[in-house]
Structure 1
Amino acid sequence: MSKPFDMELFLGGMLKGSHVTRQRHLRQAETIHNEIAQRWQRETPWAWQRKHVVWFLEHYLSRHSEATRYHYVLTLRLIARRLEKSWMLNL
């Protein structure tokens, strides 16, 4: 039995700003992680590819407002920076 992935530990050094902003990024990162893990069986962000992130943006967020998508893109950019990936993520 493996431990669940700790998103707070993964993003800990990357998070800046107010407590509310950090908590929003963590909450959104958990949502992203859960959806990708459920759909693609990728248990950690290290296993993600750009297509997984694009799927999340196009399908999971398709019914959300532009502002919500914007905030998720900011969180995904933090994740990409942590992974040292050069994913170009647009709305």
Structure 2
Amino acid sequence: MSKASDMELFLAGVMTGSHTTRQRHIHQAKTIRTAIAERWQRDNPWTWQRKHLLWFLDHRMDDRAEATRYYYRLTIQLIALRLGKPWFQS
């Protein structure tokens, strides 16, 4: 997954909602991918572990507004769903 549009393909099967909502999830997933790639050199979501996503929430979102953290948690739930992992099921 080296191209920017790959996150859209990765999440396509699990995303629902309006066009705006889908675009927000794609944008946030790209932000998550960039942060994890910088920290652990893992730019492919298939190689991510739970600790990578928790690190993102704990360290990259710690100074953000609660609403922002909420929307990123929703995106992370979609990523976990796509990976077939029960990490962040509500």
- TM-score normalised by structure 1 residue count: 0.90
Residues 43, 75 of structure 1: alpha-carbon distance in 2 compared, 3 angstrom cutoff = same
- CA offsets 1:63-85 (integer angstroms, 9 cap, x no match): 10000000000000000000001
Letter in 1 for 2:3: P
Q: Kindly indicate whether residue 77 of structure 2 is the aligned counterpart of residue 77 of structure 1.
A: yes
How far is the alpha carbon of 1:89 from its aligned partner? 6.9
* 2:77 partner amino acid: R
Equivalent residues, number: 89
Match of 1:40 in 2: 40
User: Which residue in 1 is equivalent to 2:88?
Assistant: 88
Asked if 1:68 is matched to 2:68, the reply is yes
Q: Runs in 1 of length 4+ with deviation above 6 angstroms? A: none
CA distance in 2, matches of 1:16, 1:69: 19
Q: RMSD over aligned Cα, in angstroms?
A: 1.7
Ranges in structure 1 where 5+ consecutive residues have no aligned partner: none
Q: Are the aligned partners of 2:7 and 2:26 in contact in 1 as well (CA < 8 Å)?
A: yes
Percentage of identical aligned residues: 57
In structure 2, relative to structure 1, the CA distance for the partners of 1:70 and 1:89 (3 Å cut) is farther
Which residue pairs with 1:28 in the alignment? 28
Q: Aligned partners of 1:3 and 1:51: how far apart in 2?
A: 22
| TM-score (norm: length of structure 2) | 0.91
- Letter paired with 1:63: D
Contact conserved, 1:36 with 1:42, CA < 8 A, in 2?
A: yes
Task: Tell me the equivalent position of 1:4.
Answer: 3
Q: Report the Cα offset of residue 8 of structure 1.
A: 0.6
Structure 2 residues without counterparts, runs of 5 or longer: none
